[in-house]
């Protein structure tokens, strides 16, 4: 049984205080690392639980605080202004992800050359935007990212980066046209990508909170495909880092 340690890590971008979290096995030093980018609800208990599951596989996990001040949102109506503040100021958005990456790389538990980004929903979009604009990581995993808020100029991306994108086939925020646009961009940038596509599945399908969605045609929990996406994630990580216990 792996004994995990957990500590808060404060970092700043301008006047904004971020309160991230580092989860790793006790005494860990320079492990392969996942930088976890939270969904639109923020770095809450569900995201921290994911960090713990990944750390138990032999990784250090840095949970980023993109909203700042460990802000967590409770309901869909709260999300729009926060997401709008990032999508409407893309340099700030990408800078917050970059600062989380830089802070993670500076931690003693982290091997700075062995970092993967993992993001859910808004976090998945954030991870793709970071890589698109030249962020240096071993790989990126985007679970039901909103493709509708992405840009598709990948000319600054680092060729050879590994990417896994998991989407619902009827996600209105990741339409077939947007998927095709992303595929063309990834091919043009020589990203080593794979796409997992789940039938009868909409947005936010891994989020237990989405089972109570007032708009299930837009957001809805799909437990079977949530498990499939998790299995795809752990398989992808073990391929990149076969030395971990998740291999």
Q: What is the pLDDT of residue 209?
A: 87
**End-to-end CA, the chain:** 16
Q: What is the pLDDT of residue 140?
A: 98
Q: What is the pLDDT of residue 235?
A: 98
60-103 pLDDT, tens digit per residue, is 999 999 999 999 998 878 999 999 999 999 999 999 999 999 99
Cα-flanking dihedrals φ and ψ of residue 65, to 5°?
-120, 80
8-36 pLDDT, tens digit per residue, is 999 999 999 999 999 999 999 999 999 99
What topology is assigned to 4-240 in CATH? Answer: Rossmann fold (3.40.50)
Q: DSSP readout, 131-162?
A: HHTT---SEEEEES--GGG-----TTSPTT-E
For residue 58, give the nearest of 3, 9, 21, 7 by alpha carbon.
3
| Residue carrying the six token digits 């391929």 | 239
How far apart (Å, rounded) are the C-alpha atoms in residues 114 and 83?
29
112-143 pLDDT, tens digit per residue, is 999 999 999 999 999 999 999 999 999 999 99
How far apart (Å, rounded) are the C-alpha atoms in residues 198 and 31?
32
pLDDT > 70: percent of the chain: 99
Q: What is the pLDDT of residue 246?
A: 54
Q: What is the pLDDT of residue 247?
A: 45
Is the pLDDT score of 245 beyond 80? no
177-209 pLDDT, tens digit per residue, is 999 999 999 999 999 999 999 999 999 999 998
Whole-prediction pTM: 0.97
Torsional sign, CA 121, 128, 53, 62: negative
Q: What is the pLDDT of residue 244?
A: 84
Is the pLDDT score of 1 beyond 80? no
204-221 pLDDT, tens digit per residue, is 999 998 888 889 999 999
Q: What is the pLDDT of residue 20?
A: 98
């Amino acid at each position: 049984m792996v004994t995990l340690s957990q500590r808060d890590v404060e970092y700043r971008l301008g006047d904004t205080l971020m309160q991230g979290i580092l989860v790793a096995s006790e005494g860990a030093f320079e492990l392969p690392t996942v930088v976890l980018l939270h969904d639109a609800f923020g770095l809450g208990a569900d995201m921290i639980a994911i960090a713990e599951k990944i750390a138990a596989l032999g990784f250090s996990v840095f949970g980023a605080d993109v909203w700042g001040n460990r802000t967590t949102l409770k309901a869909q109506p709260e999300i729009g202004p926060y997401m709008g503040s990032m999508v409407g100021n893309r340099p700030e958005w990408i800078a917050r992800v970059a600062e989380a990456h830089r802070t993670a790389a500076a931690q003693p538990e982290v091997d700075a050359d062995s970092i993967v980004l993992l993001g859910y929903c808004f976090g998945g979009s954030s991870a793709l935007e970071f890589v698109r604009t030249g962020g240096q990581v071993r790989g990126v995993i985007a679970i039901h990212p909103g493709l509708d808020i992405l840009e598709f100029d990948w000319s600054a991306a680092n060729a050879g980066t590994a990417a896994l994108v998991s989407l619902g086939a009827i996600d209105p925020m990741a339409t077939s046209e947007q998927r095709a646009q992303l595929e063309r961009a990834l091919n043009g940038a020589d990203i080593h990508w794979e796409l997992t596509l789940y039938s009868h599945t909409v947005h936010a399908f891994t989020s237990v909170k989405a089972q109570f969605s007032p708009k299930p045609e837009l957001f809805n929990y799909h437990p079977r495909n949530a498990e499939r996406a998790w299995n795809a994630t752990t398989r992808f990580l073990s391929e990149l880092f076969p030395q971990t216990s998740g291999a």
